[in-house]
Amino acid sequence: MEIKVVRKVLDANDTMAALNRKMFADKGIFVLNLMSSPGSGKTTTLEKTLARILPDVKCAVIVGDICTSNDADRLARTGAPVVQINTDEFGGDCHLAAHVVGKAAEDLDLDHIDCLIVENVGNLVCPAEFDIGEDARAVILSVTEGEDKPVKYPLMFRVCDVALLNKIDLLPYLDYDREAAVTYIRKIHPQMPIFELSAKTEEGFGPWLDWLKDQVSQKLKKDR
Amino acid sequence: MEIKVVRKVLDANDTMAALNRKMFADKGIFVLNLMSSPGSGKTTTLEKTLARILPDVKCAVIVGDICTSNDADRLARTGAPVVQINTDEFGGDCHLAAHVVGKAAEDLDLDHIDCLIVENVGNLVCPAEFDIGEDARAVILSVTEGEDKPVKYPLMFRVCDVALLNKIDLLPYLDYDREAAVTYIRKIHPQMPIFELSAKTEEGFGPWLDWLKDQVSQKLKKDR
């Protein structure tokens, strides 16, 4: 019975996600769902990403957290419009649901946005199960978390379209096997683009920004 | 309606947790529920902990993962009895539920165990909601995850009895404010013991091991 109810919740979410997807498509907005464990560097990656693409790409951000507006405050400093969601208003949810994202999007001027990045709640498990109407999903894995997370949390790496291996500036101080990490990701998702980078030093940021800008321009072309 | 059903699931879990708690008390076993984000160092901390207390304290471990037996394989090398739970058999659950722990405990020789450590699924959100019949709860936070996790994931820090700040060997390479981290924890849980340590180098391990051994002997006294 528990399973049936979970199924119903997921079905209701899919319905809302489809509405979001149509709304974003009508406005020609590329939507990225950014997910990771707590502390993998979602916000710092976004700060640096926005700073570098904002002149060319009109971006906005929806940030999900259980509590606090710390991340939204940091991101607002980039100049991008930011909407904060606190899931403790929705029972402390461990993920962003489609209706919550849809509601947050009402606070944005969608006519003047080309790229919407949704920073999900820090959790490598549950957010992978909830479609929010995005065009693509990105997972960040910090190298400090070890190599084997893709095989231990396979759903996240299966549903994502791109993986960012963050904090490579710490590699000299870690027992971390780069090849093993890539092999584990390929085992779960053979074709997934993988970008190794440091949100702190911006090393390796170029290919990731190129990927993102390419996704946005493909979407703009498709919708015109 | 969704909330009602979640309530029912949690109520059923509480019933099972009470049964576990009675079973462990009858055997005089101290049970620790060890929780953290993915990659915070639960398994390494446990490996080093077991290696140092096993001569004095009869320990066993139940390890929860969505997939793989990587952690169980590592922990079995310490010589402690280890039971692996893979939650993908239960729909890929993001936490250990009480009935799952109770079932795993059937595979252990409870008459010859003083301390059972349950390594939960790597997730800083959901496991905090599920009582498994433990005596105490520990949360590990890696310093690489940043200082503000306690206020962003407050439930975990509210329900835990002790906090381990792990990977302090990396402090020289991080922008991490030790005082801020402690202040944030104290804001959520003023009296919580905090141990700053490195599971890699074993720096700071003494006070943590003393705390754990003290908990085990208090339990042994109480049950005799």
Rounded to whole angstroms, the Cα distance separating B94 from B120 reads 9
Q: List the single residue in B with minimal CA-CA distance to A154.
A: B67
Q: Which of A132, A135, A125 is nearest to A105 (CA)?
A: A132
pLDDT classification of B90: cutoffs 50, 70, 90: low
Rounded to whole angstroms, the Cα distance separating B12 from B39 reads 30
A170 interaction partners in chain B (CB closer than 8 Å):
144, 170, 173-174
**Mean pLDDT along residues A114-135:** 97
Q: Establish how many alpha carbons lie within 13 A of residue B219's alpha carbon, considering only the half-sphere containing its beta carbon.
A: 25
pLDDT for the residue numbered A2: 52
pLDDT for the residue numbered A1: 43
Q: Is the pLDDT of residue B1 over 50?
A: no
Q: What is the pLDDT of residues A140-188, one digit of tens each?
A: 999 999 999 999 999 999 999 999 999 999 999 999 999 999 999 999 9
CA distances from B87 to A25, A126, A216, B92, B137 (A): 37, 13, 37, 5, 20
pLDDT for the residue numbered A189: 98
pLDDT classification of B69: cutoffs 50, 70, 90: very high
**Mean pLDDT along residues A6-31:** 91
Question: Element (H or E) spanning A30, and its range?
Answer: strand A30-36
Q: Is the pLDDT of residue A224 over 70?
A: no
Which pTM value belongs to this model? 0.94
Torsion of CA B64, B68, B70, B71, to 10 degrees: 0
Torsion of CA B116, B40, A181, A210, to 10 degrees: 150
**Mean pLDDT along residues B84-107:** 90
Interchain proximity B92–A149, CB inside 8 Å: no
User: Which of A47, A148, A151 should be substituted to probe chain B, the one whose Cβ sees the most B Cβ atoms within 10 Å?
Assistant: A148
Q: List the single residue in B with minimal CA-CA distance to A42.
A: B145
**Mean pLDDT along residues B167-189:** 97
pLDDT classification of B77: cutoffs 50, 70, 90: very high
Rounded to whole angstroms, the Cα distance separating A220 from A224 reads 6
Complex confidence, ipTM: 0.92
Interchain proximity A153–B125, CB inside 8 Å: no
pLDDT for the residue numbered B32: 98
Interchain proximity B70–A152, CB inside 8 Å: yes
Interchain proximity B151–A67, CB inside 8 Å: yes
Q: Is the pLDDT of residue A215 over 90?
A: yes
Interchain proximity A154–B67, CB inside 8 Å: yes
**Mean pLDDT along residues B2-10:** 66
Q: Is the pLDDT of residue A3 over 60?
A: no
**Mean pLDDT along residues A115-126:** 97
**Mean pLDDT along residues B185-196:** 97
Q: Who among B5, B154, B174 is closest to A67 (CB)?
A: B154
Contact pairs from chain A to chain B, CB under 8 Å = 122
pLDDT classification of B55: cutoffs 50, 70, 90: confident
Neighbours of A222 (CB within 10 A): 11
DSSP-assigned letters across all residues of chain B? -HHHHHHHHHHHHHHHHHHHHHHHHHTT-EEEEEEESTTSSHHHHHHHHHHHHTTTS-EEEEEEESS-SHHHHHHHTTTS-EEEEEGGGGTS-SS--HHHHHHHHTTS-GGG-SEEEEE--S-SSGGGG---S-SEEEEEEEGGG-S-HHHHSHHHHHH-SEEEEE-GGGGGGS---HHHHHHHHHHH-TT--EEE--TTT-TTHHHHHHHHHHHHHHHHHHT-
* Mean pLDDT (chain B, rounded): 94
pLDDT classification of A6: cutoffs 50, 70, 90: low
**Mean pLDDT along residues B208-224:** 88
